[in-house]
Structure 1
Amino acid sequence: MNARSVPAAKRPPGGPVLQGDVTRALEIAFFEELAAVGYGRLSIEAVARRAGAGKAAVYRRWPSKQAMTAELASQAALAYVRAPDMGNLHDDVAQFVRDTMAALSHPLASRIVPDLLAETTRNEELAEALLAGIRTPRRENAARILHRAIERGELPADADIELGLDFLVSPTYWRLAVIRTPVDDDYVERLTAKIIAAMKA
């Protein structure tokens, strides 16, 4: 979701704002507000105000800021990184790495992801909601890359899927979200080669 590229919905003269437009405006406002103030200071009132809507519009869609965060963060995370089927393991891994880099490099995500991870250490309910909505489905989705590679004979039948999934995601997250070091195409190729070598070891 590129919140910067989509303007908030405005009420046209003499007509109502469509419900879909209100929902979209609230989604954009949520991510912008979360990036600006963090989860701890996030409020329904501020999201509604940023979207040009009333609090009731938020509560009709989400019962709380935690429910709003869990649903919208999950939707955004799952939309950004998919399991590409490029026909071979190298290209699948390389595209997955590029997609992950694009997601973590997004100007909103680069502020939101570290904040939510920190918040999950203090908020067990939020942690459980995000694990269920993001970690589990994303790992299941990424596992398709490895299962396809096994079917094509590119990985051994007894390949460690769980560890392979860690190889797919962890180096990119460390590089961009933790040490915040720039990447380029050469880095993608070198990382792809190392990930595949580790999976085959």
Structure 2
Amino acid sequence: MGRVVTTPVRRRRGAELERAIRRAVLALVTARGPAGVTMEAVAAHAGTSKPVLYRRWPDRSALLRDTLLHAAGRSIPTPDTGTYRGDLLAVLRGWAATLTSPASAPVVAAIVGAMQQDAELREAFRESVIGWRKAEMARLIRRGVERGELRPDVPVEFARELGQGVLWHRFLITGDPIDDEVVVRIVDEIVMPFVAARPQPRP
């Protein structure tokens, strides 16, 4: 079982206090799993009191759910690089960094684990975070179609998940490496051949 350091009580308010509480939740869920996030443990680790927590969240489940959704909502870049290939490389490199960073990878794993035990978290995650990511990927695809890079009939529901699906499979299932070489190969050997505009037959 991971060791979580208790922070001495210090009077804080507003955003500073909320950041301390969220950091405490993430530290606990990473070290002990979702069951380790209790109001007592969070209060001790954040250096605050249980009444302070209960004024903001009705119970431990609400606190855990809110914190994990807040952490998951941090943006994966979706820039307009001028090409769909460049856009997709930026997105997948963002995911690769998230899934391999010692700071963020345990949080992602904790979110996945907590979703299996909390139906409300699962529904909220799918509706907000995953829903937003689907919309962003669809937007990149539409932009590629408008630029003439992608075929007009590209099946968006598959194309938007193709590259990310490989990274998630490696992260959750196989444990195979997730590095820049893998990202580039996914884009150039899997996604681009699937979505690229096709030459028109000569009359």
TM range (shorter): 0.7 to 0.9
Alignment partners' CA distance in 1, 2:24 and 2:102:
14
Alignment partners' CA distance in 2, 1:133 and 1:70:
12
Q: Larger C-alpha radius of gyration, 1 or 2?
A: 2
Change (3 A) 1:117 1:157: same
CA deviation string 1:138-196 (max 9, x = no partner): 21122221121111111122211111121031111112333222233322211111222
The aligned runs of 1:1-201 (5 Å cut-off) are 11=10, 16-193=11-188, 194-200=190-196
* Structure 1 residue 9 displacement after superposition: 9.9
Change (3 A) 1:79 1:123: closer
How high is the TM-score relative to the length of structure 1? 0.82
AA matched with 2:21: L
1:5 aligns to what? none
AA matched with 1:188: V
* Structure 1 residue 108 displacement after superposition: 4.5
Q: Percent identity?
A: 27
Tell me if the contact between 1:9 and 1:17 (Cα under 8 Å) persists in the aligned partners: no
The size of the alignment, in residue pairs, is 190
How high is the TM-score relative to the length of structure 2? 0.82
* Structure 1 residue 17 displacement after superposition: 2.2
Name the stretch that deviates more: 189-198 or 68-77.
Answer: 68-77
Alignment RMSD: 2.3
Tell me if the contact between 2:24 and 2:45 (Cα under 8 Å) persists in the aligned partners: yes
AA matched with 2:192: I
List alignment gaps of at least 5 residues for structure 2.
1-6, 199-203
Alignment partners' CA distance in 2, 1:114 and 1:20:
26
Alignment partners' CA distance in 1, 2:48 and 2:124:
26
* Structure 1 residue 73 displacement after superposition: 2.1
Alignment partners' CA distance in 2, 1:19 and 1:137:
28
Tell me if the contact between 2:68 and 2:111 (Cα under 8 Å) persists in the aligned partners: no
Name the stretch that deviates more: 151-160 or 76-85.
Answer: 76-85
CA deviation string 1:49-107 (max 9, x = no partner): 11111112222222233322333222322214132221111111111011001111232
